[in-house]
Structure 1
Amino acid sequence: MNEARENLGDERIRMLVDSVLGAMEAGQDHLVDMPLAELLASPDEPLKWALLFHLAGAGYRPAQLEVSARCAAEVVLMVALHDSFRGRTLDDEGRRLVARALTDAETMVGHAVGWGTLAHGLASEGRSGTVRSATDPKAIGIDATAALWAGVSTSARELGYGEGYEEGSSLAVAVAKRNLKESRTPEEPDLRQNSSGRVVVPSATLSRDDRKQWDIEQVIGKALPLVHASGLADSRRDLHAGHPHAASAIDRILADLAEDRPVSIRPTLLVGPPGAGKSRLCRDLLDALGMPFAAIDAGTTSDHGLTGSPRRWSSAYPSVPLRLFTQHKLANPGVIVDELEKAGRSSAGSVHDPLLSLLEPLSATKWRDLFLDAEIDASRIIWLFTANSTQGLPGPLRSRLRVLKVPLPSAEHVPALSDRIRRDLLAELDLEPGMEPPFDGEELGALTNAFGAQGSLRDLRRYVEELIKLRWFEGRQH
């Protein structure tokens, strides 16, 4: 991969390659998609294959699927080439070409099956034992297709086993090994690459009082666990029920996740009119994933509110990422930044400024905390933002965000939303939901009429509050 990169003459292509490799190195798989898509649209086939095998060997699932699909397409081309010569009288060169086509087809079938199988989290109990991506993914394809090829009696089949499969297996093993950290030792495992833990504060020099006051001692040099996704189908169902008008945004965000893998969501900006429920959706989403988080109002927060302040000040305090690490002892907590477009600028700076480095994979892995005066790894933090509009956002910041629209709810959403609001109001009063039954058809009709064709959730909450008050008043009358 490094050789392919060094041979690049196009600076734009090299920048995209660096972006992809940097995101993988930082463990932010979700930031690979956009630059990778642009690279795959380029005409440089050797680069594309090298990059795809590199990412697939590193365990990047979309690359594994892409390799599988491209290899399957190559099989079709090779079979079509073979069929085009069927019935012809061939010279030696022609016969070698046809045999090579069958060999390549067999090789590519093995890759297609093997990488596709790995992408879906399966392994093979075949001739090499349990096979996984870090050892020999090609062997999975061999095991799965062995019965098929056993029925083929051609010299090409022998060539395929002798050259194609062996070469393919060696390639896959080499790709996987190149992605392992050479510096790791059995005594000092590289926890940054471990899906179950990550060192976020490698080192820091602090006084005893500072360590005790902020509980930083518990995270310095320690591998903090990563929250893993679980029960995604249930989370999706619950989020759809609570935010039916935002189903599209919910699905786009949850598509970043895989069951039993560390939660990793690309920095996402939810844009919609006031009253669309953007902030509540962010909170419910992180709650559903079991993610602790901090909420920040961009309109009232300076850059120091996010980055912390140097210890030379008497009122010094740690950055938001560091406070989350020390409070929750997790490497991938969440941060919700509301009203991003309303961030102002003063002598204390703007919250937009530190976000540029915090949202960039490479710089986030070595982000300097002002309080510690040391680098921390903030690359696994989950960032969610809300805004009424993207106008006023700096271009560099906008380019780092996935923008999803959240519309105002419509009349069809009133039943589900009003029931959620009813339960919220009861919870605020510390009452059980059963103490106030769901709304009946007549009540829902009244709420829908008051709401209109489309409206704000704030208005709907006011209508629900009035309806519940009316219920209580009538109950006292009786």
Structure 2
Amino acid sequence: MQNAYRHTTRLVRGLDKLAAKSPAASELADCMVLMTAAANELLSASRLTNRLWHSVGQLAELRCAVRIEESRPLPETIFDNLPPEVVLDQQGVGDLIDKVRKILGEIESETTDLAIGMSMLAAGNTAPENNCRSLAELARQLGGSPRLMRNLNDKVSIPSSLIRPVVANVSDRLTRPEGPQLADAVMVCPAITGSKAGKDAVKPFVDAIGAIFPLIKVPALAPVRHALIRKFPYAEHAATRVLTDVTTKPFVHFSPILLVGPPGSGKSTFVRILADQLNVGLMRVDGANDFSSGFSGTERRWSTSEPCRPFMAVARFRQANPIVLVDEIDKATSRQDYGRLWDSMLQFMEPETASRFPDPCLQVELDLRHVSIIATANELSRLPGPLLDRFRIIEFPKPELRHLEALVPDILQTIAMDQGIHTRFIDPLDQIEVAALARQWRGGSIRPLKRAIEAILRARDRMRADCLH
């Protein structure tokens, strides 16, 4: 056994030396460490955490990609290797795809438990008593056991080497790693000098030119996650994946995110509540109505000249790190007569280019690397490859019938806000009304559910009016 351990260690070291030339060597080395590390080799946890979270993201993206579109039947050649007695029609293919997605979901769930536990081990948290022989078994036990997670410390200290630990799942407070102090404010747009025509073009944004704007710090993430799950009980996994991006950052900033889900699942509302909970501004861009490259700004020589949308968000909210939501990005025009929204977004999705963006209206370089870009879409087939390559794709599911009772209170609150009244003036739905809703709404889009609840409230008002007469 000791000789086998030495041979494995020697092989891992050799693979690590080859990692600079071949990424596959690094992946193979990490795989061997995961399979052979003993429960007391806690130093290996830090090495494995990043790899595991990367695997979780890949599994989620693969599950999102394995879908069947009604308008695009799958090629028959995909199933050429099936036995001749197996005949699949389009419905059969859809059932097979559903089974594959279910299996991928189960693997993703198990990998997430393993990644959570490995993050906890890397942060120095271990179970009080364990009889695990391998590090993987110990991590899986920590990540998948609510009892063990409750017994851990209230604070989780995250080492700087971790990229995406889901600390919101295991702790109500987050202690950030020690490190060099970052500036908490930046100058997004330097002072501008130029002609009178130039001054006229930038006059509406004069308060944002040469000004120093604060960077909004990341608050405690557990309350943020709880608020999102309370309103979107069917999207707990999506909320967790979104928040992992800011668990180790001092200031709010997301790498580009694309939420993909069916119409009416609440993607746009999710982003709005996320921004509210993080105390950052949110500027919405309607992808379906953006017919040009105006997202990146228009030339100063035009009478309708405007700076780029990210800078307009900075100027509106007077923050250096607001969120820009590009809603229904898959419905943007594909014509290139005046430029495309998709192409104009690319410059803001890489830190290097976003930090030195040459705005065509202001005619200076802007520092927009702290602005977060989040987009929503119903499906991915129309989006160009270079754009998809820059997004972290997160599947946003649709609500099901079992989520009905959890959804009703927040929908009542939304209706009260729309009517400009306090929620205490709207009585909760009783069991008879909820049962009536369950017969009419079987899951899917929230919009018809909201209309059905509004119809119930109108029926209440009519009954009260009839009683008065």
Shorter-chain-normalised TM-score: which range? 0.5 to 0.7
Contact 2:280/2:319 (8 A) holds in 1: no
**Matched position secondary structure for 2:451:** helix
Q: Which amino acid aligns with 2:394?
A: L
Show structure 2 runs of 5+ residues with no match: 1-17, 25-49, 56-114, 126-156, 163-173
- Per the alignment, residue 193 of structure 2 pairs with 205
Pairing 1:324–2:313 present: yes
Residue of structure 1 equivalent to 2:454:
465
- For 1:439, the equivalent position in structure 2 comes to 429
CA contact (8 A) 2:123 2:159 kept: no
The 8 Å contact of residues 303 and 352 in structure 1, kept in 2 or not, is answered as: no
What is the CA-CA distance between 1:245 and the residue it aligns to?
A: 1.2
Matches within 5 A, 1:27-426: 69=122, 116=159, 121=175, 132-134=178-180, 194-206=182-194, 209-210=199-200, 213-220=203-210, 222-258=211-247, 261-344=250-333, 345-426=335-416
Q: Distance in 2 between matches of 1:122 and 1:246?
A: 26
User: Paired residue for 1:456?
Assistant: 445
Distance in 2, Cα, partners of 1:261 & 1:239: 21
Q: Give the distance between the partners of 1:365 and 1:212, measured in 2 at CA.
A: 20
Q: Give a deviation string over 1:248-278, Cα, whole Å, max 9, x none.
A: 1111111222489211112111111111111
For residue 336 of structure 1, give the secondary structure of its aligned residue in structure 2: strand
Instruction: Count residues in correspondence.
Output: 320
* RMSD of aligned Cα (Å): 3.5
Contact 1:219–1:329 (Cα < 8 Å) also in 2 = no
| Counterpart Cα distance in 2 of 1:291 and 1:408 | 26
Structure-1 separation of matches of 2:124 and 2:423: 55
Q: How many Å apart are 1:213 and its aligned residue?
A: 2.7
**Residue 426 of structure 1: how far off its partner (Å):** 1.3
The Cα shift of 1:231 comes to 3.7
Amino acid at match of 1:234: P
Q: Distance in 2 between matches of 1:374 and 1:474?
A: 63
CA deviations over 1:75-126 (Å, ceiling 9, x no partner):
xxxxxxxxxxxxxxxxxxxxxxxxxxxxxxxxxxxxxxx9959987479xxx
Taking a change above 3 Å as real, the CA distance of residues 245 and 319 of structure 1, as seen in their structure-2 partners, is same
- CA 1:274/1:37 → structure 2, altered by over 3 Å: closer, same or farther? closer
Query: Is the contact made by 1:195 and 1:262 (CA closer than 8 Å) also made in structure 2?
Result: no
Q: CA 1:459/1:308 → structure 2, altered by over 3 Å: closer, same or farther?
A: same
Give me the whole-angstrom Cα distance separating, in 1, the residues matched to 2:418 and 2:307: 32
The residue type paired with residue 354 of structure 1 is: S
Aligned 8 A contact 2:296 2:345 in 1: no
Q: 1:287, 1:392 → 2: CA distance?
A: 31
Distance verdict in 2 for CA 1:230–1:260, change over 3 Å: farther
Query: Which ranges of structure 1 fall in alignment gaps of 5 or more residues?
Result: 1-6, 14-32, 39-61, 73-113, 124-131, 135-192
SS in structure 2 at match of 1:255: helix
Pair member with larger Rg:
1
Structure 1: which amino acid aligns with 2:179?
S
Which letter does structure 1 place at the counterpart of 2:365?
E
User: How big is the shift at 1:409?
Assistant: 0.6
Code of the residue aligned with 2:302 in structure 1: it is W
In structure 2, distance between residues paired with 1:245 and 1:71: 32
CA displacement, residues 105-162 of structure 1 (integer Å, 9 cap, x when unaligned): xxxxxxxxx9959987479xxxxxxxx534xxxxxxxxxxxxxxxxxxxxxxxxxxxx
Is contact 1:219-1:325 (8 Å) kept? no
What is the percent sequence identity of the aligned residues? 29
Q: Secondary structure at the match of 2:301?
A: coil
**In 2, distance between residues paired with 1:117 and 1:300?**
42
Normalising by structure 1, we get a TM-score of 0.60
